[in-house]
Amino acid sequence: MIQKNIQLDNQGRLKHLLTLEGLTRQMIIDILDAAESFTSVAGQAVKKVPLLRGKTIVNLFFEDSTRTLTTFELAAKRLSADVLKINVRTSATSKGESLLDMLRNLEAMHCDMFVVRHAESGAAHFIASHVAPHISVINAGDGRHAHPTQALLDMFTIRKHKGEFAPLTVAIVGDIMHSRVARSQIHALTTLGVSEVRVVAPNSLIPTAVNTLGVHVYHDLSEGLHNADVVIMLRLQKERMQGANLPSEHEYFQRYGLIPEKMALAKPNAIVMHPGPINRGVEMSSEVADGPQSVILEQVSNGIAVRMAVMSLVLGRPLEGTMT
Protein backbone atom coordinates (compact mmCIF):
# COMPACT_ATOMS: atom_id res chain seq x y z
CA MET A 1 0.00 0.00 0.00
CA ILE A 2 1.40 3.37 -0.99
CA GLN A 3 1.62 5.72 1.98
CA LYS A 4 -0.29 8.88 1.12
CA ASN A 5 0.60 11.48 3.76
CA ILE A 6 4.18 11.72 2.50
CA GLN A 7 2.75 13.99 -0.20
CA LEU A 8 1.85 16.72 2.28
CA ASP A 9 4.05 19.05 4.32
CA ASN A 10 3.39 20.01 7.93
CA GLN A 11 0.89 22.66 6.80
CA GLY A 12 -1.08 20.14 4.74
CA ARG A 13 0.14 21.53 1.40
CA LEU A 14 1.42 19.44 -1.47
CA LYS A 15 5.14 18.74 -1.23
CA HIS A 16 5.11 15.82 -3.68
CA LEU A 17 2.52 14.57 -6.16
CA LEU A 18 2.72 10.77 -6.18
CA THR A 19 -0.93 9.74 -6.45
CA LEU A 20 -4.39 11.33 -6.42
CA GLU A 21 -5.52 8.80 -3.84
CA GLY A 22 -6.07 10.62 -0.57
CA LEU A 23 -6.21 14.13 -2.06
CA THR A 24 -9.34 16.10 -1.24
CA ARG A 25 -11.79 17.38 -3.80
CA GLN A 26 -10.69 20.94 -3.04
CA MET A 27 -7.02 20.09 -3.66
CA ILE A 28 -7.89 18.74 -7.10
CA ILE A 29 -10.09 21.75 -7.88
CA ASP A 30 -7.27 24.08 -6.79
CA ILE A 31 -4.91 22.41 -9.28
CA LEU A 32 -7.50 22.69 -12.08
CA ASP A 33 -8.12 26.36 -11.24
CA ALA A 34 -4.38 27.04 -11.22
CA ALA A 35 -4.05 25.34 -14.61
CA GLU A 36 -6.75 27.62 -15.97
CA SER A 37 -4.59 30.61 -15.10
CA PHE A 38 -1.77 29.20 -17.23
CA THR A 39 -3.73 28.43 -20.40
CA SER A 40 -3.14 31.89 -21.86
CA VAL A 41 0.66 31.53 -21.68
CA ALA A 42 0.70 29.53 -24.92
CA GLY A 43 -0.80 32.46 -26.79
CA GLN A 44 1.73 35.01 -25.58
CA ALA A 45 4.57 36.26 -27.78
CA VAL A 46 7.00 35.15 -25.05
CA LYS A 47 5.64 31.89 -23.68
CA LYS A 48 7.12 32.27 -20.22
CA VAL A 49 6.24 33.40 -16.71
CA PRO A 50 8.91 33.92 -14.02
CA LEU A 51 7.40 31.79 -11.25
CA LEU A 52 10.17 29.18 -11.03
CA ARG A 53 13.12 31.28 -12.15
CA GLY A 54 16.22 29.98 -10.39
CA LYS A 55 14.72 26.53 -9.76
CA THR A 56 16.22 23.37 -11.27
CA ILE A 57 13.93 20.53 -12.32
CA VAL A 58 15.33 17.11 -13.27
CA ASN A 59 13.38 14.74 -15.51
CA LEU A 60 14.28 11.21 -14.41
CA PHE A 61 12.66 8.96 -16.99
CA PHE A 62 13.55 5.30 -16.51
CA GLU A 63 10.85 4.44 -19.06
CA ASP A 64 10.32 5.97 -22.49
CA SER A 65 7.46 8.41 -23.04
CA THR A 66 7.90 11.15 -25.60
CA ARG A 67 4.58 12.91 -24.95
CA THR A 68 4.82 13.03 -21.15
CA LEU A 69 8.49 13.98 -21.12
CA THR A 70 7.98 16.75 -23.69
CA THR A 71 5.04 18.34 -21.88
CA PHE A 72 6.85 18.26 -18.53
CA GLU A 73 9.89 19.88 -20.13
CA LEU A 74 7.80 22.56 -21.84
CA ALA A 75 5.89 23.22 -18.63
CA ALA A 76 9.09 23.71 -16.62
CA LYS A 77 10.63 25.97 -19.26
CA ARG A 78 7.48 28.10 -19.48
CA LEU A 79 7.78 28.61 -15.73
CA SER A 80 11.37 29.81 -16.37
CA ALA A 81 12.97 26.88 -14.52
CA ASP A 82 16.25 25.30 -15.57
CA VAL A 83 15.57 21.78 -16.86
CA LEU A 84 17.88 18.77 -16.86
CA LYS A 85 17.01 15.47 -18.55
CA ILE A 86 18.87 12.41 -17.34
CA ASN A 87 19.18 9.61 -19.87
CA VAL A 88 18.92 6.86 -17.30
CA ARG A 89 19.65 4.11 -19.81
CA THR A 90 23.16 5.48 -20.28
CA SER A 91 23.63 6.93 -16.80
CA ALA A 92 25.80 5.56 -14.05
CA THR A 93 22.90 3.45 -12.72
CA SER A 94 23.28 1.20 -15.73
CA LYS A 95 26.96 0.82 -14.87
CA GLY A 96 26.28 -0.42 -11.36
CA GLU A 97 25.84 2.81 -9.42
CA SER A 98 22.82 2.63 -7.14
CA LEU A 99 19.74 4.78 -7.57
CA LEU A 100 20.33 6.41 -4.18
CA ASP A 101 23.90 7.28 -5.14
CA MET A 102 22.59 8.96 -8.29
CA LEU A 103 20.03 10.91 -6.25
CA ARG A 104 22.70 12.11 -3.83
CA ASN A 105 24.82 13.36 -6.72
CA LEU A 106 21.86 15.24 -8.21
CA GLU A 107 21.06 16.73 -4.81
CA ALA A 108 24.66 17.96 -4.61
CA MET A 109 23.95 19.91 -7.80
CA HIS A 110 21.27 21.87 -5.87
CA CYS A 111 18.25 20.54 -7.76
CA ASP A 112 14.75 21.36 -6.52
CA MET A 113 12.45 18.79 -8.13
CA PHE A 114 12.60 15.32 -9.64
CA VAL A 115 9.96 14.30 -12.19
CA VAL A 116 10.06 10.50 -12.15
CA ARG A 117 8.77 7.91 -14.60
CA HIS A 118 9.48 4.27 -13.83
CA ALA A 119 8.26 0.82 -14.85
CA GLU A 120 8.05 -0.32 -11.22
CA SER A 121 5.00 0.52 -9.09
CA GLY A 122 6.01 2.55 -6.05
CA ALA A 123 9.26 3.86 -7.54
CA ALA A 124 8.27 7.53 -7.23
CA HIS A 125 7.22 6.97 -3.62
CA PHE A 126 10.56 5.28 -2.88
CA ILE A 127 12.46 8.25 -4.33
CA ALA A 128 10.29 10.76 -2.46
CA SER A 129 11.00 8.86 0.77
CA HIS A 130 14.77 9.17 0.28
CA VAL A 131 15.39 12.60 -1.23
CA ALA A 132 16.69 15.57 0.74
CA PRO A 133 13.96 17.57 2.55
CA HIS A 134 14.09 20.51 0.12
CA ILE A 135 13.40 18.38 -2.98
CA SER A 136 9.93 17.66 -4.34
CA VAL A 137 8.98 14.65 -6.47
CA ILE A 138 6.28 14.38 -9.13
CA ASN A 139 5.19 10.96 -10.32
CA ALA A 140 5.07 10.91 -14.13
CA GLY A 141 3.85 7.30 -14.14
CA ASP A 142 4.97 4.28 -12.12
CA GLY A 143 4.21 0.73 -13.20
CA ARG A 144 0.53 -0.11 -12.83
CA HIS A 145 0.12 2.21 -9.86
CA ALA A 146 -0.56 5.83 -10.78
CA HIS A 147 -0.22 8.61 -13.33
CA PRO A 148 -1.64 11.60 -11.44
CA THR A 149 -0.85 14.42 -13.89
CA GLN A 150 -2.44 12.50 -16.77
CA ALA A 151 -5.62 12.10 -14.76
CA LEU A 152 -5.53 15.78 -13.80
CA LEU A 153 -5.21 16.93 -17.41
CA ASP A 154 -8.10 14.61 -18.25
CA MET A 155 -10.21 16.21 -15.50
CA PHE A 156 -9.24 19.64 -16.79
CA THR A 157 -10.34 18.67 -20.31
CA ILE A 158 -13.64 17.25 -19.04
CA ARG A 159 -14.36 20.40 -17.04
CA LYS A 160 -13.61 22.57 -20.07
CA HIS A 161 -16.28 20.77 -22.09
CA LYS A 162 -18.81 19.75 -19.44
CA GLY A 163 -18.56 22.26 -16.62
CA GLU A 164 -19.83 20.51 -13.51
CA PHE A 165 -18.70 16.98 -12.68
CA ALA A 166 -21.69 15.89 -10.60
CA PRO A 167 -24.17 15.08 -13.41
CA LEU A 168 -21.72 13.14 -15.55
CA THR A 169 -21.56 9.49 -16.54
CA VAL A 170 -18.03 8.54 -17.56
CA ALA A 171 -17.12 5.28 -19.31
CA ILE A 172 -13.49 4.10 -19.16
CA VAL A 173 -12.97 1.42 -21.81
CA GLY A 174 -10.13 -1.03 -22.33
CA ASP A 175 -7.18 -2.39 -20.40
CA ILE A 176 -8.20 -1.45 -16.85
CA MET A 177 -6.03 -4.20 -15.35
CA HIS A 178 -2.65 -2.83 -16.45
CA SER A 179 -3.47 0.89 -16.66
CA ARG A 180 -2.02 3.33 -14.13
CA VAL A 181 -3.98 6.03 -15.97
CA ALA A 182 -7.31 4.27 -15.28
CA ARG A 183 -6.55 4.01 -11.56
CA SER A 184 -5.74 7.70 -11.28
CA GLN A 185 -8.78 8.65 -13.37
CA ILE A 186 -11.08 6.61 -11.13
CA HIS A 187 -9.69 8.25 -7.99
CA ALA A 188 -10.10 11.71 -9.54
CA LEU A 189 -13.60 11.13 -10.90
CA THR A 190 -14.98 9.64 -7.70
CA THR A 191 -13.37 12.36 -5.58
CA LEU A 192 -14.88 15.02 -7.83
CA GLY A 193 -18.29 13.40 -7.36
CA VAL A 194 -19.36 12.33 -10.84
CA SER A 195 -22.72 10.56 -11.04
CA GLU A 196 -21.33 7.27 -12.35
CA VAL A 197 -17.97 5.83 -13.34
CA ARG A 198 -18.16 2.78 -15.60
CA VAL A 199 -15.30 0.47 -16.51
CA VAL A 200 -15.80 -1.53 -19.70
CA ALA A 201 -13.52 -4.43 -20.61
CA PRO A 202 -13.29 -8.19 -21.03
CA ASN A 203 -13.16 -10.01 -17.72
CA SER A 204 -9.44 -10.75 -18.17
CA LEU A 205 -8.67 -7.01 -18.20
CA ILE A 206 -10.70 -6.10 -15.10
CA PRO A 207 -8.70 -6.08 -11.82
CA THR A 208 -10.04 -7.98 -8.84
CA ALA A 209 -12.02 -5.94 -6.29
CA VAL A 210 -12.44 -3.08 -8.76
CA ASN A 211 -15.95 -2.59 -7.35
CA THR A 212 -14.39 -1.30 -4.13
CA LEU A 213 -13.25 1.77 -6.09
CA GLY A 214 -16.86 2.88 -6.59
CA VAL A 215 -17.25 1.93 -10.25
CA HIS A 216 -19.78 -0.12 -12.21
CA VAL A 217 -18.36 -2.95 -14.32
CA TYR A 218 -19.56 -3.68 -17.86
CA HIS A 219 -18.36 -6.39 -20.21
CA ASP A 220 -20.51 -5.30 -23.15
CA LEU A 221 -19.34 -2.14 -24.92
CA SER A 222 -22.79 -1.11 -26.13
CA GLU A 223 -24.23 -1.27 -22.61
CA GLY A 224 -21.24 0.55 -21.14
CA LEU A 225 -21.49 3.42 -23.64
CA HIS A 226 -25.26 3.93 -23.34
CA ASN A 227 -25.98 7.60 -22.50
CA ALA A 228 -22.38 8.29 -21.43
CA ASP A 229 -21.23 11.92 -21.30
CA VAL A 230 -17.52 11.10 -21.54
CA VAL A 231 -15.83 8.11 -23.16
CA ILE A 232 -12.20 7.47 -22.19
CA MET A 233 -10.48 4.84 -24.31
CA LEU A 234 -7.34 3.20 -22.93
CA ARG A 235 -4.32 1.83 -24.74
CA LEU A 236 -3.76 -1.92 -24.60
CA GLN A 237 -0.74 -2.15 -22.31
CA LYS A 238 0.99 -4.96 -24.20
CA GLU A 239 4.35 -4.31 -22.55
CA ARG A 240 2.82 -4.84 -19.07
CA MET A 241 0.84 -7.97 -19.89
CA GLN A 242 2.22 -11.33 -18.85
CA GLY A 243 0.12 -14.17 -20.17
CA ALA A 244 -3.07 -12.12 -20.30
CA ASN A 245 -5.95 -14.09 -21.77
CA LEU A 246 -6.77 -11.85 -24.70
CA PRO A 247 -8.36 -12.43 -28.08
CA SER A 248 -6.52 -11.31 -31.20
CA GLU A 249 -6.29 -7.59 -31.83
CA HIS A 250 -8.83 -7.99 -34.62
CA GLU A 251 -11.29 -9.71 -32.29
CA TYR A 252 -10.63 -7.14 -29.56
CA PHE A 253 -11.46 -4.35 -32.00
CA GLN A 254 -14.65 -6.11 -33.05
CA ARG A 255 -15.83 -6.33 -29.43
CA TYR A 256 -14.31 -3.26 -27.75
CA GLY A 257 -13.04 -0.97 -30.48
CA LEU A 258 -14.78 2.41 -30.65
CA ILE A 259 -16.37 3.02 -34.05
CA PRO A 260 -18.93 5.69 -35.03
CA GLU A 261 -21.86 3.25 -34.68
CA LYS A 262 -20.87 2.43 -31.10
CA MET A 263 -20.11 6.06 -30.28
CA ALA A 264 -23.66 6.93 -31.33
CA LEU A 265 -24.91 5.05 -28.25
CA ALA A 266 -23.39 7.71 -25.99
CA LYS A 267 -25.05 11.10 -25.62
CA PRO A 268 -24.98 13.24 -28.79
CA ASN A 269 -22.65 15.76 -27.14
CA ALA A 270 -20.36 13.16 -25.56
CA ILE A 271 -16.61 13.65 -25.86
CA VAL A 272 -13.99 11.00 -26.65
CA MET A 273 -10.62 10.92 -24.87
CA HIS A 274 -7.48 8.78 -25.00
CA PRO A 275 -4.22 9.19 -23.02
CA GLY A 276 -2.19 8.15 -26.08
CA PRO A 277 -0.55 6.82 -28.02
CA ILE A 278 -3.53 5.38 -29.89
CA ASN A 279 -3.43 1.94 -31.47
CA ARG A 280 -5.69 2.79 -34.40
CA GLY A 281 -7.79 -0.14 -35.52
CA VAL A 282 -7.38 -1.76 -32.08
CA GLU A 283 -8.82 0.67 -29.52
CA MET A 284 -10.67 2.97 -31.89
CA SER A 285 -11.12 3.75 -35.54
CA SER A 286 -9.56 6.78 -37.18
CA GLU A 287 -13.07 8.09 -37.87
CA VAL A 288 -13.60 8.45 -34.12
CA ALA A 289 -10.04 9.48 -33.22
CA ASP A 290 -10.11 12.32 -35.74
CA GLY A 291 -13.84 13.01 -35.51
CA PRO A 292 -15.76 16.01 -34.14
CA GLN A 293 -16.28 14.47 -30.69
CA SER A 294 -12.58 13.75 -30.15
CA VAL A 295 -10.70 15.99 -27.71
CA ILE A 296 -7.51 13.91 -27.76
CA LEU A 297 -5.22 16.65 -29.07
CA GLU A 298 -6.74 19.09 -26.56
CA GLN A 299 -5.65 16.70 -23.83
CA VAL A 300 -2.05 17.06 -25.00
CA SER A 301 -2.25 20.87 -25.01
CA ASN A 302 -3.97 20.95 -21.62
CA GLY A 303 -1.21 18.77 -20.20
CA ILE A 304 1.24 21.65 -20.34
CA ALA A 305 -0.96 24.02 -18.31
CA VAL A 306 -1.81 21.31 -15.77
CA ARG A 307 1.82 20.37 -15.27
CA MET A 308 2.74 24.03 -14.89
CA ALA A 309 0.10 24.28 -12.16
CA VAL A 310 1.36 21.18 -10.35
CA MET A 311 4.97 22.33 -10.43
CA SER A 312 4.04 25.79 -9.13
CA LEU A 313 1.88 24.45 -6.31
CA VAL A 314 4.34 21.75 -5.26
CA LEU A 315 7.28 24.16 -5.16
CA GLY A 316 5.17 26.49 -3.05
CA ARG A 317 5.12 29.61 -5.17
CA PRO A 318 2.02 31.84 -5.04
CA LEU A 319 -0.14 31.79 -8.16
CA GLU A 320 -1.43 35.37 -7.92
CA GLY A 321 -0.19 37.61 -10.66
CA THR A 322 1.21 34.79 -12.75
CA MET A 323 0.44 36.56 -15.99
CA THR A 324 2.20 39.80 -15.08
Tens of pLDDT, residues 45-92: 888 999 999 999 999 998 888 889 999 999 999 999 999 998 776 565
- Bigger pLDDT: 114 or 248? 114
Choice between 250 and 15, residue whose per-residue pLDDT is larger: 15
Res 223: pLDDT:
98
Look at residue 321 in the predicted model and tell me its pLDDT. Answer: 40
pLDDT in the model for residue 1: 41
Q: Strand 196-200 to strand 169-173: parallel, antiparallel, or no bridges (unpaired)? A: parallel
pTM: 0.92
Percent of the chain with pLDDT over 70: 90
Q: What is the mean pLDDT of residues 139-143?
A: 95
Q: Nearest 5°: phi and psi at 38?
A: -100, -5
Predicted confidence band of residue 155 (pLDDT cuts 50, 70, 90):
very high
Confidence of residue 247 (pLDDT cuts 50, 70, 90): low
DSSP H stretches of helix in the chain: 25-38, 66-78, 99-108, 123-130, 148-162, 180-192, 221-225, 249-256, 260-263, 286-289, 296-314
Q: Indicate if the pLDDT at residue 198 is higher than 50.
A: yes
> Using 50, 70 and 90 to split pLDDT, how confident is the model at 323?
very low
Q: Helices then strands (H, E): number in the chain? A: 11, 9
Does the structure show a pLDDT above 70 at 117?
yes
Mean pLDDT over residues 191-202, rounded? 97
Q: Give the pLDDT confidence score for residue 92 in this predicted structure.
A: 52
Quote the pLDDT of residue 250: 87
What is the residue-averaged pLDDT of the chain?
Answer: 90
- C-alpha to C-alpha distance for 78 and 57, rounded to whole angstroms: 12
Would the pLDDT of 96 be above 70?
no
Query: Judging by beta carbons within 10 Å of its beta carbon (0-12, 13-18, 19+), is residue 320 exposed, middle or buried?
Result: exposed
pLDDT in tens, 14-28: 999 999 999 999 999
Candidates 17, 4, 95; CA nearest to 308 is 17
CATH superfamily of 5-146+301-314: Aspartate/ornithine carbamoyltransferase (3.40.50.1370)
Partnered with residue 14 across adjacent β-strands are 8
3-state secondary structure 117-153: EECCCCHHHHHHHHCCCCCEEEEEEECCCECHHHHHH
Rounded Cα–Cα distance for residues 266 and 229 (Å): 7
Tell me which of 24-28, 165-169, 280-284, 315-319 is least confident.
Answer: 315-319
148-295 matches 5-146+301-314 in CATH topology = yes
pLDDT for 242 beyond 70: no
Domain ranges of the chain: 5-146+301-314, 148-295
Q: Check residue 322 and give its pLDDT.
A: 41
Q: Which CATH class is domain 148-295?
A: alpha beta
Q: What is the pLDDT of residue 211?
A: 84
**pLDDT number for residue 149:** 98
Query: What pLDDT is attached to residue 2?
Result: 45
Q: Cis omega before residue 318 (within 30°)? A: no
- 172 SS3 class: strand
